[in-house]
Amino acid sequence: MLKLEKRRQPSRAWAWGAPVVAVIATILAGGLLFALDGTDPVAVIRTIFWDPLFGQHASFYRPQLLVKAAPLVLIAIGLSLGFRAGIWNIGAEGQYIIGALTGAGCALAFYPMEGWFIFPLMVICGALGGCLWAMIPAALKVVFGTNEILVSLMLVYVAEKILASMSLGLLKNPEGYGFPGSRNLAQYPSAHNAEIVAGTGMHWGVAAALIAVIFAYVLLNRHLLGFQIRLTGEAPRAARFAGVVPARLVVFCLGASGALAGLAGMFEVAGPSGQISIDFNVGYGFTAIIVAFLGRLHPVGILLAGLLMALTYVGGGISQSAQGLPAATIQMFQGMLLFFLLAFDVLTNYRLRLTRREVA
């Protein structure tokens, strides 16, 4: 029978191999799923993974990849810090919404004034909004020991209701003929998160995501705080002896991930989305959880995983129109990816052994 045997050292090969194997397994299982759905699996897989990069209209889709990857990477970088330390912020979706609301709210407060300082101010407001929203579970965890998973998740639903209320009330476009939704920030030059180089999809959010990757890398590898985060995740007792204050880590990890999620929301509302509307959020906060794990909670890994996940979004979108693939299938596809990853991850710390059944 097959038996798991603990490795003395985690296998480096499998640590990086598991995500690759998981992606391949997901593609195979996904192909089966598409075939059962009555679509040609090879065509669908090619549409999702090949066409956005090298297909006929790739020049149109490549910028879209950056636009989709930026919020995913920004959020996932923040989440990975907490996940490494065993602090589970599941409510990034809520922090993303609140960041978008505070960022857009800041811009709309100045409308129609023009000024160079408006956009930087929006960035600060967006980060602060997301950070404060994440401070709710952080404070409750530190003061009362409340479970941060459930609190941060409940706050997603609260944020969604606030979003609905805002787009129907306070932030509604007064010149919008009664339609729900705010003014379009794309038509407000001082607040518009325009592309840095036109036609590349490279907006300020993409730049922020790259900066976040570098900062996270330096933090985790070269800074005491990063060491404490890793230590707490790998050996909580040793961390206590080393003088790590758990409360400080909780506040930092939740605060940082909240701020980054808030930033992602703010860049999205000021750029690609343009306005606050009832259905503004599309689940980036949840998909980012998959991105964080797929990237092995490592900044560079997350960057690659974010691009791959963006590919499934863009490719899935093309496939929706080309082969009539339902949107839910892509969501399932992403869920499956996390399943396979978690399953193959066991080989990092254990090896499979064939043993004969013995009498106990």
Q: Which residues bind another protein (CB under 8 A)?
A: 4, 6, 88, 90, 140, 144-147, 149-151, 153-155, 157-158, 161-162, 164-165, 168-169, 286, 289-290, 293, 326-336, 338-339, 342-346, 349-350
Contacts for 282-286: CB closer than 8 Å, 24+ residues apart: 283/93, 283/331, 284/71, 284/72, 284/75, 284/92, 284/93, 284/96, 285/75, 285/91, 285/92, 285/93, 285/94, 285/95, 285/96, 285/156, 285/261, 286/92, 286/93
CB of 340 to another protein, least distance (A): 10
Q: How far is the CB of 343 from another protein (least distance, A)?
A: 5
The CB-of-65 to another protein minimum distance in angstroms stands at 21
- Comparison of 121 and 149: residue with beta carbon closer to another protein: 149
Q: Which is nearer to another protein, 198 or 358 (CB)?
A: 358
- Residue 55: CB atoms within 10 A of its CB come to 15
* Closest distance to another protein from the beta carbon of 287 (Å): 8
To another protein, the closest distance from the beta carbon of 80 in angstroms equals 12
CB of residue 172 to another protein, shortest distance in Å: 13
Report in angstroms how near the CB of residue 166 gets to another protein at its nearest.
9
The DSSP output letter for 186 is: G
Distance CA 160, CA 28 (A): 35
DSSP-assigned states of every residue in 128-172: HHHHHHHHHHHHHHHHH---HHHHHHHHHHHHHHHHHHHHHTTT-
**Which of 235, 346 has the CB closer to another protein?**
346
Smallest gap from Cβ 136 to another protein, in A, equals: 8
DSSP string, 273-337: S-S--TT---SHHHHHHHHHHHTTT-HHHHHHHHHHHHHHHHHHHHHHHHT---HHHHHHHHHHH
Q: Which is nearer to another protein, 245 or 343 (by Cβ)?
A: 343
Tokens of 25: 């397994």
Of 128 and 330, nearer to another protein (C-beta) is 330
Nearer to another protein, 152 or 273 (CB): 152
CB distance 289 to 172 below 8 Å: no
Residue placing its CB nearer to another protein in the complex, 20 or 327? 327
CA distance 100 to 193: 12
Contact 306, 291 (CB under 8 A): yes
CB 342 within 8 Å of CB 289: no
- d(CA 168, CA 179) in angstroms, rounded, equals 8
Q: Which is nearer to another protein, 66 or 85 (CB)?
A: 85
